[in-house]
Amino acid sequence: MDGTIRKDIYPGLPVVIVLKEDQKTGKGTQGIVKDILTSKSVHPRGIKVRLETGEVGRVQYILK
């Protein structure tokens, strides 16, 4: 699943995000969602979240 639909993302969900500084390389960072920062229901570049580690980025895909 990709991370473009807000209703698919919730606190405690394991995801891979791309941090702002890694957007050019596309390097992913794995973590657990703490907060959802995007208010729109759909975002084409991924829903912005804060991980439990405090890192902020856009969800690239959801881990199962």
CA distance 14 to 56: 14
23 located within any domain: yes
Q: Model pTM? A: 0.92
Is 13 part of a structural domain of the chain?
yes
Question: Domain residues for 13?
Answer: 6-62
Say if 48 falls within a structural domain: yes
H-helix or E-strand spanning residue 36: strand 29-36
State the amino acid at position 12 in one-letter form: G
User: Does residue 1 fall inside a structural domain?
Assistant: no
**pLDDT tens, N- to C-terminus, the chain (64 residues):** 889 999 999 999 999 999 999 999 999 999 999 999 999 999 999 999 999 999 999 999 999 8
- Whichever domain contains 16, its CATH number is 2.30.30
Report the chain's mean pLDDT, rounded to a whole number: 96
d(Cα 26, Cα 22) in Å, to the nearest integer? Answer: 6
Q: Please report where in the chains the tokens 């941090």 appear, as a residue.
A: 19
* Structural domain contains residue 55: yes
Domain tally, the chain:
1
